[in-house]
Structure 1
């Protein structure tokens, strides 16, 4: 396909994502949009979903089936198969061209991924893990709540929801987080507690995943660097606390890039007691200082 139409489609899609809010029409309008999405957005979605599931997987040891709602060309499916290679994944989406391209991309994989046409409000296939990746921003508030409720009804072991790492994206995650708590589910990541989120406006809780750019990726986005950082917000929960450690045993979560200076590391932490605060680890603390030098944004502490 000529690069001109692809570049124009990328520019339009970037505008749609930046606008936020409920989309009156599907974001992916045809084959050109779908290919543009796969080239410019799918790598970032894959990186963010992989980061989310990697940090949550130790809470979810027995995942054999996954349903990804609004999965498009299959980024979350790749991330799930990376964590659970033998799991069967069902990707649901309303855009036929996205499903076709996703099916082609996964054709070399040894089975396990099914791409199925799905409309909002339709039944969701039951699975151990149900993921909602970058979908809530395309829905109005009532539809967001209905989709989260439907995911809870379909999930046997866990629900994972991820949105862009923006103030509005975090707002949608907070809505989903509260719905999970109201349904009696227990948060396992990133929150180290079941209390109100301590991160207040104008700040917001988000994390970052490094994305290595291909040459085509750089050309279509007009970028020069060989990488970019995808910011995302997420929440993962399990029903009734099964499979999650006691709150008192939870480690804190690193909320920002650690500040490293000579002889000390400054950490911004979300703590098991429901507070967010700063901790300074100095060289005098020996092993703790060595650990702090290696810790990264999003890690447990």
Structure 2
């Protein structure tokens, strides 16, 4: 009997099939053009993904990275609400639905799923790709303008990933208010840049003001302890490079790290981490340096050495974004 295919593997297979018949040069040119548009000022009255070729190329290039980033954010959130699983999920601005795949990887099983996006070609290909994921068999793919005019039905979980940059400030505010009114829990993911972090902080502050608790990455719901302009909070998710990635970016590595910022907030009771690793751990001879955001709140560097025994072993295995200390070591 064959082992069940993981959502990540099923997604990779579907994306590879999606590029069949699309000349590699055309795919690469479409991705280059679309990346340039996404990095610029995007008007809200013109969908960026115009046709099937655009969507196929961009999905094959970006969906694995979006999946990995959202999956990492959802996993941190799931650890803070261990007894909870969403009965319904709405993906706002979801395009081809990478976040829906990440949700099924975090909480297996079927649920009511709705993907909202303005680009009909993206929705069509998202529906096509989702045929490989039984948990998305009954997902609804609906065209909607993302912004101040959007309305949402009440739902357990709303994801908003890599969307806020495409909106005006007024539309971002209106969207966040709409999401806060409709959702029990919200996960927002943006690029791991200073601007992306600023948008996440804006969203975080608005959700907290609406009565949400921050579940991750912050171990508290107080103001972020980072002094504006001096640094930004972001994390990294490892992504296997496809042949399209290697063709466009060059390089010999079989992977790359997707940098992202995020906030997961909820109206549920949460068991937040005592602290979280907010920089890549520095492993040196006989010691590990961990930069932590703590419950108090505040930022602190701690050094874990061999004399800490099992905690030292845990520190050597710790990753950027992990809760600290590990659950089994919190009495130490």
TM over 0.5: yes
Q: Unmatched 5+ residue regions in structure 1?
A: none
Q: Unmatched 5+ residue regions in structure 2?
A: 1-21, 325-332
Q: Report the Cα offset of residue 138 of structure 1.
A: 0.2
The one of 314, 317, 321 equivalent to 1:298 is 321
Matched, 1:83 2:110: no
Distance verdict in 2 for CA 1:138–1:223, change over 3 Å: farther
Distance 1:254 1:291 in 2: 12
Aligned match of 2:63: 42
Equivalent residues in 2 for 1:194-213, closer than 5 Å: 194-200=221-227, 201-213=229-241
Aligned match of 1:226: 254
Instruction: Tell me the secondary structure at the aligned position of residue 68 of structure 1.
Output: strand
Q: Report the Cα offset of residue 294 of structure 1.
A: 1.0
The one of 85, 92, 114 equivalent to 2:140 is 114
Distance 1:22 1:190 in 2: 31
Aligned match of 2:72: 51
Q: More displaced, 124-133 or 168-177?
A: 124-133
Q: Report the Cα offset of residue 243 of structure 1.
A: 2.2
Equivalent residues in 2 for 1:116-195, closer than 5 Å: 116-120=142-146, 121-155=149-183, 157-195=184-222
Matched, 1:105 2:133: no
Distance 1:222 1:14 in 2: 16
TM-score (norm 1): 0.93
Q: More displaced, 194-203 or 130-139?
A: 194-203
Structure 1 segments, 4+ long, off by >4 Å, are 20-24
Matched, 1:18 2:39: yes
Q: More displaced, 158-167 or 277-286?
A: 277-286
Equivalent residues in 2 for 1:62-73, closer than 5 Å: 62-73=85-96
Aligned match of 1:238: 266
Q: More displaced, 5-14 or 219-228?
A: 219-228
CA RMSD of aligned residues (A): 1.6
**Aligned pairs, number:** 295
Q: Report the Cα offset of residue 25 of structure 1.
A: 2.6
Distance verdict in 2 for CA 1:278–1:225, change over 3 Å: same
Distance 2:232 2:140 in 1: 35
Distance verdict in 2 for CA 1:294–1:101, change over 3 Å: same
TM-score (norm 2): 0.85
Q: Report the Cα offset of residue 146 of structure 1.
A: 0.8
Matched, 1:94 2:118: yes
Q: More displaced, 216-225 or 141-150?
A: 216-225
